[in-house]
């Protein structure tokens, strides 16, 4: 009786242990080769022990900006924030920092998970941060007005009038006095018969 009870207790304990363990396949499954290669490349691009990484170098290394000089210019212009604060190009970034980079039409928001100081490819760069960026705006919302197809030739007078009208409606016209839908406003001396050398203008007698 004692032996049977001990045997049942041992069997139940073994069954419970096997049920609590994850499957053997999950324990022995190998990681994705591409992900493993990207992580290894990111580790190789990291700084040496005790060295820090500048923010302008990091945002360039993870491909948030195209060039390192562009990253430094963005920092000086106040377009780069770390944990909500504007930073200089020489600021030392740390793991866990929230980095915001304001670009032309959107803002990138990332959390630093790995420090690197060499520019890497996009798959490797994705292993260095957590991307919390909002989705980019629709392409139609950022398309500039007045863009012509390549090979279309020089715009006609009608095309130029349409482009000026679109720029004025969108507030992009740099010409002062442009009124949407009416063209440029006429100033003093630019009306009919004034300042053109013909007709009767101020201080000049007309033809008799």
Q: What average pLDDT does the chain have?
A: 73
Predicted confidence at residue 106, as pLDDT, reads 87
How far is 81 from 134, CA to CA, in rounded Å? Answer: 16
Domains within the chain, CATH numbers bracketed: 35-136 (3.10.290.10), 144-182 (no CATH)
How far is 62 from 101, CA to CA, in rounded Å? Answer: 12
- Which two structure tokens, joined as six digits, stand for 127? 């292993």
Predicted confidence at residue 16, as pLDDT, reads 45
Q: How confident is the model at residue 53 (pLDDT cuts 50, 70, 90)?
A: very high
The dihedrals phi and psi of 148, each to the nearest 5 degrees, come to -110, 155
The dihedrals phi and psi of 123, each to the nearest 5 degrees, come to -60, -35
Structure confidence by residue, pLDDT tens digits, 85-131: 999 999 999 999 999 999 878 899 999 999 998 898 999 899 999 99
Residues near 114 by beta carbon (within 8 Å), at least 6 away in sequence: 42, 43, 46, 95, 127, 128, 129
């Amino acid at each position: 009786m004692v032996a049977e009870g001990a045997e049942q207790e041992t069997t139940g304990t073994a069954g419970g242990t096997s049920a609590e363990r994850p499957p053997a396949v999950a324990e022995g499954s190998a990681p994705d080769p591409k992900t493993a290669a990207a992580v290894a490349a990111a580790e190789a691009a990291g700084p040496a022990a005790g060295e820090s990484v500048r923010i302008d170098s990091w945002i360039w290394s993870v491909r948030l900006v195209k060039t390192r000089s562009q990253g430094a210019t963005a920092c000086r212009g106040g377009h780069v924030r770390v944990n909500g604060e504007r930073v200089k190009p020489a600021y030392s970034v740390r793991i866990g920092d929230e980095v915001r980079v304001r670009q032309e039409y959107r803002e990138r928001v990332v959390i630093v998970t790995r420090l690197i100081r060499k520019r890497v490819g996009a798959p490797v760069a994705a292993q260095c941060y957590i991307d919390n960026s909002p989705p980019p705006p629709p392409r139609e919302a950022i398309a500039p007005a007045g863009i012509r197809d390549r090979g279309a030739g020089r715009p006609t007078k009608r095309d130029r009038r349409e482009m000026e009208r679109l720029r004025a409606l969108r507030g992009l016209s740099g010409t002062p006095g442009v009124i949407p839908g009416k063209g440029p406003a006429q100033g003093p001396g630019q009306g009919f018969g004034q300042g053109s050398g013909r007709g009767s203008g101020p201080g000049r007698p007309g033809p008799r």
